């Protein structure tokens, strides 16, 4: 299997003014591209080269001698999922997802507040996720390259809180970036499609 950089599901300037073309050129065109290139290089001529990215993440998680492979595979997977979690056109939360969110958090607005707080509270680099588990929906944060798929959790939505995701547009105002994400950029329809009935 060849690991390739996915195309953005929207034009690079389509998220402006909330996320600029400069940010996406840097984030997708340099950072994500770099993870893919390193993953290709690190798995070349190994049994992992024929595995899916998700299989590599699960196979290398927690193994000190494969930490570099895990980091690049997980960052490739996380970023690919992040692009799907963004949309140029502001969306309402579909009823099926709104109902599940309300069951877990009380209502959608309370969820948004808690999501922003969780992402803002993630120390250093990482991710904030809406995941589905056996007991319903929850918000989790992961540091660095860590990802829910390494922990048998099903991601529905993610926001990248590494500085390269927002610093060009928001400098050190991570909470402002997260609020714009939940209010303007989140692809709720994609999350609802992933929700297991």
Q: Which domains does the chain have, with CATH numbers?
A: 21-84 (1.10.287.990), 95-194 (3.55.40.20)
pLDDT tens track for 37-52: 999 999 999 999 999 9
For 92, 95, 171, the CA distances from 89, given in Å and listed in that order, are 10, 18, 24
Say if residues 138 and 104 touch (Cβ distance below 8 Å).
yes
pLDDT tens track for 97-107: 999 999 999 99
Q: How far apart are CA 135 and CA 156, in angstroms?
A: 15
Q: How far apart are CA 93 and CA 83, in angstroms?
A: 18
pTM of the complete model beyond 0.75? yes
Say if residues 53 and 147 touch (Cβ distance below 8 Å).
no
pLDDT in tens, the chain (197 residues): 469 999 999 999 999 999 999 999 999 999 999 999 999 999 999 999 999 999 999 999 999 999 999 999 999 999 999 999 999 999 999 999 999 999 999 999 999 999 999 999 999 999 999 999 988 999 999 999 999 999 999 999 999 999 999 999 999 999 999 999 999 999 999 999 999 76
DSSP string, 96-125: HHHHHHHHHHSSHHHHHHHHHHHHHHS-SS
pLDDT tens track for 2-13: 699 999 999 999
């Amino acid at each position: 299997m060849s690991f390739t950089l996915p195309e953005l599901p929207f034009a690079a300037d389509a998220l402006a003014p909330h996320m600029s073309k400069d940010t996406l050129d840097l984030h997708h065109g340099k950072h994500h591209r770099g993870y893919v290139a390193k993953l290709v290089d690190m798995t070349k001529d190994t049994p992992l080269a024929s595995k899916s990215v998700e299989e590599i993440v699960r196979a290398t998680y927690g193994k000190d001698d494969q930490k570099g492979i895990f980091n690049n595979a997980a960052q490739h997977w996380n970023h690919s999922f992040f692009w799907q979690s963004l949309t140029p056109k502001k969306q309402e939360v579909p009823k099926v997802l709104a109902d599940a969110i309300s069951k877990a958090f009380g209502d959608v607005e309370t969820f948004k507040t808690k999501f922003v707080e969780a992402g803002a509270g993630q120390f250093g680099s990482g991710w904030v996720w809406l995941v589905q588990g056996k007991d319903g929906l929850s918000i989790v944060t992961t540091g660095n390259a860590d990802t829910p798929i390494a922990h048998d959790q099903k991601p529905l939505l993610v926001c990248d809180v590494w500085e390269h995701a927002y610093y060009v547009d928001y400098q050190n105002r991570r909470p402002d970036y997260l609020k714009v994400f939940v209010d303007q950029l989140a692809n709720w329809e994609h999350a609802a499609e992933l929700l297991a009935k």
